[in-house]
Every structure is written in C-alpha cells, then in structure tokens.
Amino acid sequence: MLLVLGDLLVINGTYLASLLLAKAMSGTSTATFLELVLSFAGWFVFVSLLWGFVARVNECYEIAAIAKPAVATRRIFVVLVYMGIVYIILFYFIQFSLPPKIVLPIFLPLSLGFLLAWRSLYLLVFRMPTFKRRILIVGAGWAGSVIARELQHLNWEYGLLGFIDDDPTKQAQQIEGAPVLGTRADLLGIINDHGAQELVLSITHEIHDQLFEALIEAQENGIEVTPMATLYENLTGRVPVEHINHHWYTGLPIVPKHGPLYAFSKRATDLIVGMLGLIVTGVVLPFMALAIRLDSSGPIFYHQERVGHHGRVFKLVKFRSMFTNAEADGKAVWAVDKDVRVTRVGRLLRLTRMDELPQFLNVLRGDLSLVGPRPERPAFVEELQKHIPFYRSRLMVKPGLTGWAQVKYRYGNTIEDALVKLQYDLYYIGHQSILLDLVITLKTLWVVVFCKGT
C-alpha cells in the first residue's frame, strides 16, 4: 500500500510539475497553485486511475517487478507508453479543460525518472535488515530448498534466517546460502534467539508430535506459520504441485464460490465477445480462405478433439495452419518451434493468433470460456496425467480461449513445460475473478497486437 500511494504521489506530482512548466514555457499568465489544481482536477483523477489500472495489468506490483530494478524499469516504461497512447486518444475527445499539448512530452520522461528514483529509494530502505520479515524454514529437504531459492533470488521483503531439520547430517550445513540452525527440539529457542517472525512449513511427510506442539506454541506467541505451497504461490503466481507430496490437500485448488454474479458476468462476457469475434471472423474469412487455399491444398478449417470441462471431449475449430496429413500415422505429436509442418500462411496466422478466430464459435457453444486453462488433446491429457500430479485438476473449470499460463509462460512442447503451465493453471483456478480475467484478456490483446504469438 505504501508503494502504491508513493507511485500515485509521484504521478500526480510530476503531472502538476508538467502543467507548471507548460504554463511557464507558453508565457501565459500564471494562475495560483490552487486554481491550477482545481481547473485540471479531472485530469489528475484520470491520470491516477489510468496509472492504477495499467500498472495492475502490467504487473508492476508483482514481487519480482518490485524486487528487480531491471524488470521494474521495463514494466514502468511500458505502462507510461500505454498511458501516453490513451492520454492522446482521450485528449482529442475532450472538449473542455484541456491542458497544453506540451504537457505529455514533459510528463512522460519526468514521471519515468521520478518513479524509478522513488522505487530505488523504496528498495534501499526496505532491503535493510530492520524492515525484512525474518523467516525460518522448517524442513531442509527438496521443498525447503526450492522456497529458500525463491526467497534468496528475490532478496527483498524477506530475510531468511535458516532452516530447522532433524537430519543429523544437515546440522550446521549451508543450504541455498542459509544455515541449518537446529532440530525440532531447538525450534522455540531459535525463534527467540533470532527474532523469527514467520515459520515456513516445508515438510512433505507426517509432522512429529513434538514439532506440532512447538508450532502451536509458536502461533500462540504471534509467530505466523505458513505452508511452503502458500508462500511459493504468493511469490511466483504458481502452485508447486511437485513439492506437495503427502500434503496433497494443501495444493489441490478449491474453486472459489463467487456465487451467481461471477458466473453470470463470465458467461455474459463470453456471449458478447463470442458474437463480436464471429463478426470479425466473418469479415476476414474470404481473405483467410483465399490465402490458405493458395498456399497449400486442403480444407480451410481444422477440427481437433480437445478435453473440456469435467473431461468432456469436444471439437475445437481453427483456421488450418499446417499441411494436410501432418500426423499421417494418426498419432498425436507436439507442435514445436519452427515446426516444418506449418505452412507459410500458417506461420503468419500463428504469429498473429488469427488461426484461433473460429474458436469464438466454441465460446458461443459453451465449449470454451474467454479465459481459462487452454484445453489439451485427449492423448496428451492421458500421457501428462501419468507424469504430473493433479493434472486433471485443471478440468475443474471450463477451458479458455486464453489463460493465465498463456500470458505468463512461453509456448511449450515438453512434459516440463506442461508442469509449469499446470502450476499457472491451478493458480488461476484458485484465484479466478473478474479482475484477473480482465488482466489476462488485456495481456492477450498485447500479444496479438504486437504479434508475439507462436
């Protein structure tokens, strides 16, 4: 909240400074400070709301974006570019209380400089040991190492004190740069000696009674106890399915009970966007059909079986982007980068995502939603669920035309890629909301407009 308020203060301060500089450069009579603010009050509100919305869509308040200056700089720059485009569009629609045109070219570089300076100061202060949340990880095994790596990688907000583990061979050893400080019998003493504020429980087997009692006592003394899966999810936006093991119930996503309002708004959005999408498809269809036919022989559309909600199989329809008989032996094959089976027109269609336009028909039919986990082919689902825990959990919700995994992760064609995408899909299932759907939709539009598809 402090970071958000600081950003808004910088945005409004630089906009005010831009107005003052513009007035001074134009040589017009200088109004009082209060008169200037009141005369352009609507623009201050607009700029604040625009920053808040676009920064949220571009994930400027994600932990990785806060902790890493290079990531923060890139995302803030993109947000300001978006704001400049929207500002210019709105500027020519508003017919009253217009600020001078020179305000924008002053505001954008000025706000970029001050935002980066403010963010640097923020990190400098909150990276000090005094402000870091002091954490102990209970369990120095595989899961403990993974969460320690994430904490050390971010190097912000959390201060990792070390590990608690009963394995005598790990005592006084360094794991991911942090020491093993003792066993469960030492837990309460270590908490007091090191001033720990939070315990991360990364044990994947049954908890010993002595440890359980120590955890209860720690909680009674105000120490927060957090499952490893929960912290990992908060840090990465993914559910760590491969690190849950016996505690499977902590990783299985529970579909939020939004009630009828969310379900109604989601379906209404699907119907509206689906109809608009089919209109666009109808407009481009003659050109698509001609290009596909001239480039290679075969049908215009391609139908493929996919697994949908609760395992129901349906026919997905797309513009054909591969040569016919791409799977001549009838066996499902992963598409790969620079796939030789893709036609010249198909490469363009995939780059712009236009090959997926006919899927708006699936959206209208109810096979797909606008946002949700992307549906996979039955053969791949059967194979992946043998190797990946909880893979069928993604069938708990209706699949989507786009999804959290699609905007957060690259195109994948391996079991490892499928695992990472599942982690993102399960995060979406557990956190789905109107706002998250909107964020995913807008990020997908960015991919389409700037041809970042595969």
The tens digit of pLDDT for each residue in 121-162 reads 998 888 888 888 899 999 998 889 999 998 887 767 788 999
* CA 320/CA 399 separation, integer angstroms: 21
Nearest CA-CA partner of 146 in 239, 51, 83? 239
pLDDT at 384: 87
Q: What mean pLDDT is predicted for residues 394-417?
A: 85
Q: What value does the mean pLDDT take over residues 16-26?
A: 86
Average pLDDT on 9-22 reads: 92
d(CA 284, CA 445) in angstroms, rounded, equals 18
The CA distance from 117 to 122, in Å, is 9
CATH class of segment(s) 132-250: alpha beta
Residue 195, judged by CB atoms within 10 A of its CB (0-12, 13-18, 19+), counts as exposed
Whether 365 shows a pLDDT value over 60: the answer reads yes
| Average pLDDT for 326-352 | 77
Averaged pLDDT, 256-269: 82
* H helix intervals, 127-196: 142-154, 187-194
What pLDDT digit, counting tens, does each position of 420-431 carry?
888 899 889 888
Mean pLDDT computed over 362-371: 95
Contact 450, 439 (CB under 8 A): no
DSSP string for 327-365: TTTS------TT-TTB-HHHHHHHHHTGGGGGGHHHHHH
Residue that wins the pLDDT comparison between 117 and 442: 117
Q: C-alpha angle 182/187/193, rounded to 5°?
A: 90
- The stretch 27-41 carries a mean pLDDT of 73
- Residues listed for the chain: 454
Task: Give me the chain's average pLDDT, please.
Answer: 86
Output the pLDDT for position 340.
80
Domains of the chain, by residue range, sit at: 2-126, 132-250, 260-449
254 band by pLDDT with thresholds 50, 70 and 90:
low
pLDDT of residue 329: 64
pLDDT-derived band at 186, boundaries 50, 70, 90: very high
> Above 90 in pLDDT, residue 399?
yes
pLDDT reading at 193 higher than 90: yes
Give, for 411, the enclosing helix (H) or strand (E): none
What is the C-alpha to C-alpha distance for residues 35 and 283, in angstroms, rounded to an integer? 51
Of 350 and 337, more confident: 350
Confidence of residue 178 (pLDDT cuts 50, 70, 90): very high
Q: Model confidence over 65-110: pLDDT tens digits?
A: 888 888 899 999 999 998 998 888 888 777 667 788 889 999 999 9
- Is the pLDDT higher at 10 or at 259? 10
Q: Is residue 376 predicted with pLDDT exceeding 70? A: yes
The strand order across the sheet containing 174-175 reads: 174-175, 178-182, 158-164, 133-138, 198-201, 224-227
Tell me what pLDDT residue 134 has.
92
Residue 243 has pLDDT above 70, yes or no: no
Residue 410 near residue 404, CB atoms below 8 Å? no
pLDDT of 27 above 80: no
Q: What is the pLDDT of residue 346?
A: 87
232, pLDDT greater than 80 = yes
Alpha helices in 97-186 (DSSP H): 103-126, 142-154
Question: What's the whole-number mean pLDDT along residues 193-199?
Answer: 93
CA–CA dist 228, 246 (Å, integer): 13
Strand pairing class (174-175; 178-182): antiparallel
pLDDT of residue 374: 92
